[in-house]
């Protein structure tokens, strides 16, 4: 059972200026991430704003010209950005992000937007393109009679459906969805998310689902990676992460997710400053906000250890299968 996509030691450094006249200093927004996604699987990626989720999402597709590390697609090294090999592969990996209006060309009709990848990648002969576009529109819950409309004539939810139809046009094997419903009206978020999940399951597409909404992630993901300041601090199956989180940061995140029919008991409120990669604390980056922090947490970085099969955590208080808790 080989992964569809595998990333090794991904690093992304941004030059960040402190204040208007300050010197630009390198800041690591993604700091050594290893990740893999199996065919058809949904990996949820969660973490507060600034933890590097969007940066990671782009890197998984190899579309960040300054990314460091290695990515493999179906076991082969990802070709260099912009090469013909990369362009061919690009059709198999699609990105859906928060703002559908920015993703669409406002001068093109819906049918043209959805038909574009079919033409660019020469996927469907011209005479069959109309049929395929109509099929895709129906699949995402749009009416074929909306085909001649322009993006500004649609609601936010309909626009995101167009973006999704366009992404599906090239029959991708991987869909990276970066907060795909965060900008939409709360009342239609569930509809779009459910549609996305149904389409993904039906077509066996692997998905990386980035969201700060843990309720949605629990509903979508098979496995969840929790990010803090550019690193993964815990990873496990979705059931396990939500039922028995190990890392204090995950515990805090999970404690704020309501479970239907149960009172919100034992909620952990995260104290202190939200994380800023320009100002990474020593040792465990979470230590200034961790209720359990001790001296060792300030002094040394806890490695991401394997805790059980398919389960990792980076905390000095969590023992690995082969390493004990730090003294
Ligand atoms: P959010 O939940 O707000 O979308 P995120 O987890 O997606 O956050 P990223 O957008 O990946 O986080 O950003 C990670 C860090 O990198 C942030 O501190 C951000 O300020 C910084 N960053 C992102 N893009 C750039 C850029 N182009 N130049 C400089 N810094 C950047
Ligand atoms: Fe908290 Fe220490 Fe664990 Fe970090 S290593 S999460 S500071 S207990
Ligand atoms: Mg983001």
Q: Please report, for the chain, the start and end positions of each structural domain, with discontinuous segments joined by +.
A: 5-92+172-313
By CB atoms closer than 10 A (0-12, 13-18, 19+), residue 178 is buried
Q: Note whether 187 and 20 are within 8 A (CB).
A: no
User: So what's the ipTM on this one?
Assistant: 0.98
Q: For residue 275, give the ligand nearest its CA.
A: 1
CA of 301 to the centre of ligand 2 (A): 9
User: pLDDT under 70 in the chain at which residues?
Assistant: 260-266, 326-327
Please tell me the chain's helix, strand, coil percentages from 3-state DSSP, rounded to the nearest 5: 35, 25, 45
Mutation to probe ligand 1, out of 29, 98, 180, 273 (largest number of atoms < 8 A from CB): 29
Beta strands (DSSP E) in 138-219 are 174-178, 206-210
- Does ligand 2 have an atom closer than 6 angstroms to the CB of 293? yes
User: Residues 28-33: contacts with CB within 8 Å, 24+ apart?
Assistant: 28/230, 28/277, 28/280, 29/55, 29/230, 29/277, 30/55, 30/56, 30/59, 30/67, 30/230, 31/229, 31/230, 31/231, 31/277, 32/230, 32/231, 33/7, 33/9, 33/69, 33/230, 33/231, 33/232
| CATH code of the domain made up of 5-92+172-313 | 3.40.50.300
Of 285, 301, 317, the residue with max ligand 2 atoms within 8 A of its CB, to mutate for a pocket test, comes to 317
What is the structure's pLDDT at 173?
97
For the segment 63-91, what is each residue's pLDDT rounded down to a tens digit?
999 999 999 999 999 999 889 999 889 99
pTM: 0.94
Tell me the ligand closest to 18's alpha carbon.
1
Distance CA 225, CA 44 (A): 6
Beta bridge partners of 10: 33
Q: What is the pLDDT of residue 20?
A: 78
């Amino acid at each position: 059972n080989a992964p569809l996509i595998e990333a090794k030691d991904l690093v992304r450094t941004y030059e960040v200026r402190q204040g208007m006249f300050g010197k630009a200093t390198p800041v690591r927004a993604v700091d050594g991430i290893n990740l893999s996604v199996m065919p058809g699987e949904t990996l949820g990626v969660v973490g507060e704003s600034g933890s590097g989720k969007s940066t990671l999402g782009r890197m998984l597709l190899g579309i960040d010209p300054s990314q460091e590390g290695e990515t493999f697609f179906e076991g082969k090294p990802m070709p260099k950005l912009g090469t013909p090999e990369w362009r061919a592969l690009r059709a198999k990996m699609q990105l859906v992000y928060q703002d559908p209006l920015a993703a669409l060309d406002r001068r093109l009709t819906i049918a043209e937007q959805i038909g574009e990848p079919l033409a660019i990648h020469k996927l469907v002969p011209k005479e069959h393109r109309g049929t395929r576009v109509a099929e895709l529109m129906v699949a995402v819950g749009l009416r074929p009679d909306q085909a001649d409309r322009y993006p500004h004539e649609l609601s936010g939810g309909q626009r995101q459906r167009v973006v999704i139809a366009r992404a599906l046009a090239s029959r991708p094997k991987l869909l990276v969805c970066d907060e795909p419903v965060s900008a939409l009206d709360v009342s239609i978020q569930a509809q779009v998310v459910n549609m996305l999940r149904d389409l993904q399951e039906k077509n066996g597409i692997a998905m990386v689902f980035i969201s700060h909404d843990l309720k949605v992630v629990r509903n979508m993901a098979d496995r969840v990676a929790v990010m803090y300041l550019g690193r993964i601090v815990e990873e496990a199956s979705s059931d396990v992460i939500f039922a028995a989180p190990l890392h204090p940061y995950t515990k805090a995140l999970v404690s704020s997710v309501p479970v239907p029919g149960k009172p919100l008991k034992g909620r952990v409120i995260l104290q202190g400053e939200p994380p800023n990669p320009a100002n990474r604390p020593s040792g465990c980056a979470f230590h200034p906000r961790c209720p359990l922090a001790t001296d060792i947490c300030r002094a040394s970085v806890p490695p991401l250890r394997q805790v059980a099969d398919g389960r990792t955590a980076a905390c000095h208080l969590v023992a690995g299968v082969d390493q004990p808790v730090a003294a």
